[in-house]
Each structure stands twice: as structure tokens, then as C-alpha cells.
Amino acid sequence: MHELSLVADLFTIIEEQASRAGAKRVTKVVVSVGELSGVVPELFRSAFQSYKKGTIADKARLQLKMVKIKFKCRSCGHELTARNIMDESFSYVCPACGSKDMELIAGRDLYLEKLEIET
């Protein structure tokens, strides 16, 4: 389960940022998770719950923000949010100009977005 190693890395960042801010406790952790990141939200939540015990974030709530898959046409700059790239009707062709030169700009993300702390 790679979610546990991701959560371990997350806690390294949480503890570092909390220390810099002079926090006594972390009350909320917000993480952005791209639909193509490979993270299983339920496993990530479970790993977070297990890992937080005895840390500065022992009582923290975890909020996961799911990031939709988004493409940008390199030809015309049009941005397209994919509802589901597994849908057979999805096309990698720009609906604005017809170009196939599309760049994935969102959806593989995984990052700490916000910490709420008590000082």
C-alpha cells in the first residue's frame, strides 16, 4: 500500500510546517488529490488515521480535495476538464480548434494544500 508511504512523507511536511509556525496542535489537514494520482482516497484516509496517532496532528481532521483531469490545447490554449477519460466518448481532440496537441495540466497532483493549527 503506497498510501502509507505517502502519508509518512505528508507527516514530515506537516511537522516541519507546524514547527515553523509555532503550532501546538494541527486541527485540520487539506490535501489535493488528482484523479490520476494513483491514490485511493479510502486507503489514504485510513493510513492518515493510523499514522496521526501520537503526533502533533493527533486530533486533526483530514479533508481530501479531488482534482479533476484537465487538458490544455497547445495550439489555441483552450482548456478542457475531462469528466471521465475512461468514457468511450472522450476525445483527446481540442473541441475549439481540432488540434490533437493536448497537454495534461491537472489531475496527477498530490500536495498539501492547507494546515489549520492552534498556537
Alpha carbon 51 to chain centroid, angstroms: 18
- Answer whether residue 89 shows pLDDT above 80: no
pTM: 0.84
Contacts of residue 52, defined as CB under 8 A and 6 or more positions apart, other chains included, come to 11, 58, 60
Bigger pLDDT: 91 vs 18:
18
Residue 91: per-residue pLDDT: 72
Q: Where exactly are the structural domains of the chain?
A: 2-68+107-118
SS3 at position 73: strand
- Residue 82's pLDDT band, with cuts at 50, 70 and 90, is confident
- In contact, 56 and 15? CB cutoff 8 Å: yes
- pLDDT tops 90 at residue 81: no
CA 51, 53, 58, 64 torsion: positive or negative? positive
CATH of domain 2-68+107-118: 3.30.2320.50
Residue 116's pLDDT band, with cuts at 50, 70 and 90, is very high
